Structure 1
C-alpha cells in the first residue's frame, strides 16, 4: 500500500485515462434484443430457427391498423407501404373481416430482414412518416424491439440522473465529511464506466444486461468503498497521520472486503451455470464489474483519501445516524418476538410463493406497458389476436400437408380457438367451383378487371374440359401459359395474377422444405397456448416420419419455460452451497453460515411471495436472477454483523457484544442497504421497459426485506443461538 500511495498521482491519472477511453467505447457496445439467442442449441426452437434461416431467411413482421379508411384507400396505402425499402410484402385482403371491417383496415407487413435489424427499424420509421396524416396503430415484436433500442441508452442516463442525488443524500446521512460522498461517486463512476466500456470485448450483450448492469454495480459494489472509508475514519482517530491511517485501514479492511466481493462474485458466477444463456450474459458482466469495483476501491480510493485528506478534515461534521443503545435494549428484551414473527412470515410466504403465476416472454410483459399496450390492445380488440407460427415440413412428405391442415382445423374446433389463417402451397392444388373461385379472387385482393379476366379463363376451361366443373389454381395457370386460345396480349394481361401466385409459392417452398403459415387467436403465452404447442408437436410427430420444425413467439416461450424452470432449481442449490461454503471457511463455523443463509433465503422467499399476494404475475427470469443477486449481495450485511458480534463476544457477554456489534455495523448496513433499495426501486419506477422495471422492483424490495431482517432479526437470532454458535465455531486464542 505504501508503494500505491507513493505513486498516487500516476494511479489517479491512469484511472482518469481509462475512464475516458471506456466512456468512448461505451457507445460501441453491441446490444442484443433477441432472447431466443440465449436458448440452448439443443432446444427445438433454436434448431428450427437455423433451418428457417437457411431455407427461407428470417423475416420480421409488423401489424399496421388504419382507422376511418375505405377499402380502396386501404389497398392504396398497402401498395405505398410495399414500395418502401426493406419491405418484402404487405398482406391485405379487403373482403376478409380479419383484415377489414367497420372502416378499419389491418395490414400485415413482412420485412426483408429480421425484427432486430437496422433495416427493419428504418422501414418502421418510413411507415410512420408515410402514415403521419392517418389515424394508425403499430403492433408486433418488431415495433416493441425497435422502441427498446431507441429508449435504452436514454433510460440509462435518466435512471442515473435520478439515483445519483438519492445516493448523495444517503451518503451525507451516513458519513462524517461533506467530501466523502464526492469521493464515493468518483470511485463508483470510474468502476462502472470501465466495466460498461470493456463490454465491447463481447460480441454483444443482452438489452437487460446493458440497461441494468451499471445501476446494479453502482449499488452492489459501493460497500467496498464504504467499508474502507469507515475503517479509515476509525484509525484516523487513533493517529492524526492520514497516510498511516490509510495503511492501517487498508490492512484491516482487506479481508472483509475480499470476503464480501467473493460472495457477490459467486452469486454472479452461479448465474453462468444456467442453460438459458442470458444468465451467463448477466453473470459475466456483473462478475467483471464486481472485480473492477474491488480493484478501484482498493487502489484508487486510498490515493484519493490521501490527496483530499486535508479537505476531508476541514469538512468534518457530526454523523446524522446516531448510536441507538435503546433500540438494542428494546430488541434484546423482546428477542423472541421478532424472530418468531419473521419465522411465521417466512412460513406463510412459502405457501404464497407456490401460488405465483409466471410470465416468460417480453410480449406478454409488454401488455402492461404504455405505447405498446395502447396500440397492440386496440389492434387485438378490433381484429382479434394474431399469433402466427411457421411450420416447416420436409418436401418429401408434402403430400401429407392436407392431413395436417385437417388435424389443425379439428383441433381448433375441439379446443375452441380460431384458425384465422392457414396458408400452404398445397392450397394451389385445391379445386374450386366457379362460385368458390369468385370468392377466392375477391379475398386475394385483385382489382375488378383482373377478377373478370380470371373468371373468363375459368369459363373457357369449363367449356373445353366439360363435364369437369372445378379446377385448381395450378391448373388455371398452366392453362393460361399453354393454351392457344389466348393471344399474347391477353396472356400478358393475366401475367400479374400468375406472378403473384409464383411469388407466394417462392415464400412457401425451398429446396428441402414446404412452409406452412398458421395464425391462431391464442395469446402469446398462457396454459392454453402451451398446451396447443405441445399438441401441435405431437400431431407433427404422428403425421410425418421425417423431422419437422415450428417457429413462433409462443413456441419459443414454451421452450424457454421448460429451460428456466430447470435452471431455477439448479442455480438456487449451487448458489446456496457455494455461499454456505465460503462463509463456513471464512468463519471456521457451521452455525454462522446456517443462520445467515436461512435469514437471507427467508428474505428472498418473502420477496417472491408478495406478487402472489397481490395477484401479480412474476417475470420468471427475474425470479431466478434476483434470487441469486439478493442472496449474494445482501448476505454481506449479515456477514458484517456476524463478524463484529464474534469479535466482541470474545471479551463481552451476549448483550454487550450484541450492542457493540450493532453499533459497529449499523451504519454500513444501512448505507449499503439504502443505496441498493433506492437503485432497485428507481429502476422499477423510471424504466419504461417492463421486464427491466419488474427486475428493478424485485431487487429494491428484496434489498429492503434483507436489510430489515439483518437489522431487526439477525441480532436476536445470534443472541438466542449463542450457546450453539459457541460450540460450532472455532476461535483463535487471543494473545495476552
Structure 2
C-alpha cells in the first residue's frame, strides 16, 4: 500500500501540483471571509449561569457592549452637552454620566441629580456607555468612531471592553503579519545554518506556506474562529510542522547519495520516512485534540484548527513536497554548500559526563515544580485579554481610574411586577460599601410619579414587558479575589428579593464561570493528553517503560516552564496555561522520540555509554533546528503582540520549547542509560511475543492441512 502511494506521488507529480495550486487559491480567497470572535463569553457551555443570563438579556435588551470615556478640561454644561450628543449616536443604548436625569426625565421637575458628582470632578467628566450590540459588533465600533469625533481623541480617554475589542481587531492583523514576517526571516537563517543547500530553506518555507493557507482558508467551514486561534494558529503550525519536511528531504538526500536515481530515491524516501512523519504528527495531533475536549469551548476552537493545521501539513509534505523536490532537484544541487555547523560529538560526551548531576537536579526540581505550577496567580476573563502596558487603551484606563476610581459595571435583570420590591433592592444595593451606584427605573423615579409619564424611548432602556434592568457599578477591578467576593454578595442580595428568574451579568460573573470551568478542564485535559501521548509512544516502541522515560523530560520541562512565573512573581493567563501545557507535550515529545529511536538503533551495536553519546550527537541538529524554530516563534509572539493573552502564550511556548530541548539533550540520555537493562528486557519479550503470534496461525494452518 505504502509502496503504491509513493509510486503514485512520484509519477503523478504534475497532477498533484495542479491540485494543490487550485486548493491554495481557493483557500486564499476564502480566508478573508473567516469571521473572528473576540468575546470569551460566547464559549461558555449552556449549563453556565452566565450563558443562561446572556441568552435572556439578549432576548430582552440585546447583548450590550460597554465603554468608559473621560473628557478632560470641560465645564459641567459642556459635559452635559457631550453626554446628550453621545446618547444620540446610532448604536448607543444608554449613557450614564453628568446630567443623567435630564436625559431620562424630560423636565427638570423630575431631576434627581445625586449622581452628578460621581461623573464630574475637577474639570473632568466620565461617561459609562452601554451599546445596543456587543463589544465586537461593527455597529458598536462605528458608534465608537463617532464618539471619537464628538469627544476628540486627544481630549478624551477611552477604555472599557468595547474599546479594547475595537483596538484588538485593528491591531491583531498587523501584529500577526509582523510576527510571521519576522519568523520567516529568522527561520530561514536557522535552516540555512542547519541544511547544506541555499535553496532548501526556501523550499521548506514554500511548503509550509501552502499548508498554512490551506488550513486558515478552510476555517471557513467553522464560520468564525476565536481571536486566540486567529492570532496563534498560523505561526504555531509553521513552527510545529517544519520538521516533517526537513525529515523527508534529508531522507531523500541520504538515499540519493548512495547512488540511487532521483525518482526511485524519492519513492524509497517516502516509504522510509512516512511512518516516522505520521508518528510524529500523531503525537502532536493527540495533544491538540485533547484541547478540543475542554468544556470551555474555546478549546474546541483552538484544538480543531491546530489539528487541521497538522493534517494539512502532513498531506502537503507527503504529497506536494516530493514533486517540488524532484522539480527543483538540480537547483538544490547547484546551491549546495558545506555544513556551517561543526560535528556535535563533543556535545554528546559533555551531556553524558554530566548525567548524574542532571538526574539529581531533575529529581530535586520535579516535585516542587509540580506543586509550584498550580500556585500561580491566574487571570481567567477579559483582564487576560486586555491590551498590555504601553498601549493607548491601557494608559487611558489608568488615567480614568486615577481621577474617578475603578468602575466594574454589573447588570441585574429582575422580573417585572413589583415596583416597591425593585426599589428596595436598588436601595439595599446602593447601601453596600463596594457599590458606587445602582440605577433602576423604580429606584430613580420619584415616588408618586407613574412610569407612564415617561416616553417609551426612555423606559425601554431599563424595562421591557417581562424584565427590569438595574445598572450597578462596583468600585473594584473586574477580576480579583475581592471582586469575586463582591459579585457573590451582589448576587446573594438580588436572589434574596428575586429567588427565581433573576440574573446577574457582567465581566466579573462571567469570569467566575470561566474560572470554575477552566479549572475543571485542566485536571481532565492534562490527564487525557498525557495518557494519549503515552499510548502513541508505547505502540511505537512496544514497551511500557519507554513511554514513561520519554515523557519525563517533557513533563519536567512543562512543570518548570509553568512554575517560573510564580518564582518571578508574574501572573498567568489560565487559558494559556492549559493550552500550552498540552501543546508543549504534543509538539516537543518528538524530540524525545527521535533521541530514543537513535539510542535504540545504536544500542544494537554499541554499549550504553557509546549509544547515548552517539545518539545525542546525531539527534542534536534536528532537535536544535525544530526546537529553535519553536522557541523563536514563541518569543516573536511575545514581543510583537499587544494582547496580554497572546503575548504570554508566546513566551510560554518559546520558553517551553527551550526547556524541552535542554532536558531532552541532557536528562533523557541519562534516563535511557540508567534503565538500559529493563528496557532491553521488555523489548526482547515484545519481540518474542510478536514471533509467537506470527507463528501461531502457521501452526494452525499446518494442522488444518494435516486433517
- What is the TM-score with the length of structure 1 in the denominator? 0.88
Is 1:425 matched with 2:441? yes
Query: Which whole-Å CA distance do the structure 2 matches of 1:133 and 1:570 have between them?
Result: 47
Q: Map 1:530-609 onto structure 2 (within 5 A).
A: 530-609=484-563
Aligned counterparts of 1:71 and 1:598: Cα–Cα separation in 2: 66
Task: Report the CA distance between 1:352 and its aligned residue.
Answer: 2.9
CA gap of 1:256–1:75, structure 2 versus 1, over 3 A, is: same
Asked if structure 2 preserves the Cα contact closer than 8 Å seen for 1:398 and 1:514, the reply is no
1:397–1:158 distance in 2 versus 1, CA, 3 Å: same
**Deviation for aligned residue 1:82:** 2.9
* Residue in structure 1 matched with residue 586 of structure 2 by the alignment: 632
**Alpha carbons 2:355, 2:666 under 8 Å: kept:** no
Do the aligned residues in 2 keep the contact of 1:364 with 1:525 (CA within 8 Å)? no
- The verdict on how the C-alpha distance between 1:251 and 1:401 changes in structure 2, with shifts beyond 3 A counting, is same
SS of the residue aligned with 1:390? strand
Instruction: Give the distance between the partners of 1:526 and 1:505, measured in 2 at CA.
Output: 34
CA shift for structure 1 position 295? 0.5
From the superposition, tell whether residues 185 and 503 of structure 1 become closer, same or farther in structure 2 (CA, over 3 Å): same
CA contact (8 A) 1:328 1:659 kept: yes
CA 1:71 to 1:514, structure 2 compared with 1: closer, same or farther past 3 Å?
A: same
Instruction: Indicate which of 267, 291, 304 corresponds to 2:324.
Output: 304
1:334, 1:133 → 2: CA distance? 60
Among 44, 48, 61, which residue is 2:49 paired with?
A: 44
Q: Distance in 1 between matches of 2:418 and 2:300?
A: 40
Q: Name 2:698's counterpart in structure 1.
A: none
CA contact (8 A) 1:603 1:702 kept: yes
1:92 match: 97
- The equivalent of 1:446 in structure 2 is none
Deviates more, 1:122-131 or 1:47-56: 122-131
How far off its partner does 1:61 sit?
2.4
Aligned CA distance change for structure 1 residues 28 and 156 (closer, same or farther; 3 Å): same
Q: Within the alignment, does 1:187 sit opposite 2:207 as a pair?
A: yes
Please report how far the alpha carbon of residue 678 of structure 1 lies from its aligned counterpart in structure 2 after TM superposition. 0.4
Identify the residue that residue 23 of structure 2 maps to in structure 1: 18
SS across alignment from 1:26: helix
Alpha carbons of 1:133 and 1:163: their partners in 2 closer, same or farther (altered >3 Å)?
Answer: closer
Point out the more displaced range, 684-693 or 35-44.
Answer: 684-693
2:185 aligns with 165
Residue 652 of structure 1 aligns to a residue in which SS?
Answer: coil
User: Which of the numbers 600, 604, 611 marks the counterpart of 1:646?
Assistant: 600
Deviations 1:137-159 (Å, cap 9, x if unpaired)?
11110000011111222222111
Q: How does 1:345-494 map to 2 (within 5 A)?
A: 345-366=365-386, 368-369=388-389, 370-396=391-417, 399-410=420-431, 412-413=432-433, 417=434, 419-428=435-444, 430-431=446-447, 472-474=448-450
Pick from 126, 139, 144 the counterpart of residue 159 of structure 2: 139
Give me the whole-angstrom Cα distance separating, in 1, the residues matched to 2:154 and 2:325.
Answer: 61
- With over 3 angstroms needed to count, the CA separation of the structure-2 counterparts of 1:428 and 1:141, relative to structure 1, is closer
**Which runs of 5 or more residues in structure 2 are unaligned?**
1-5, 100-112, 692-707
Shift of 1:680: 0.5
TM-superposed CA distance for 1:504, in Å, is: 3.8
Q: Does residue 619 of the first structure (1) align with residue 573 of the second (2)?
A: yes
CA offsets per residue over residues 389-448 of structure 1, 9 Å max, x none?
1111122455433443354345x24xxx2x2221122225654xxxxxxxxxxxxxxxxx
Q: 1:5 aligns with which of 7, 10, 18?
A: 10
CA contact (8 A) 2:438 2:472 kept: yes
Change (3 A) 1:233 1:732: farther
Deviations 1:291-343 (A, max 9, x none): 01000001111111111111112222222222222222232233211121222
Equivalent residues, number: 668
Question: Is contact 1:268-1:284 (8 Å) kept?
Answer: yes
1:689 alignment partner, one of 643, 661, 671? 643
Shift of 1:182: 0.9
2:247 alignment counterpart: 227
Aligned to 2:3: none
Instruction: Answer yes or no: is the 8 Å Cα contact 2:638–2:648 preserved in 1.
Output: yes
Partner Cα separation in structure 2 for residue 560 and residue 56 of structure 1: 23
Distance 1:269 1:398, change over 3 A: farther
**TM-score using structure 2 length:** 0.91
- Give me the whole-angstrom Cα distance separating, in 1, the residues matched to 2:460 and 2:239: 54
Q: Secondary structure at the match of 1:729?
A: helix
* 1:665 aligned partner: 619
Question: Partner residue of 1:71?
Answer: 76
Q: Is the 8 A contact 2:347 2:617 kept in 1?
A: no
Equivalent position of 1:458 in the other structure: none
Give the secondary-structure state (helix, strand or coil) at the position aligned to 1:9. Answer: helix
**Partner residue in 2 for 1:491:** none
Q: Distance between the aligned counterparts of 1:115 and 1:280, measured in 2?
A: 22
1:494 paired residue number: none
Instruction: Give the SS at the match of 2:461.
Output: helix
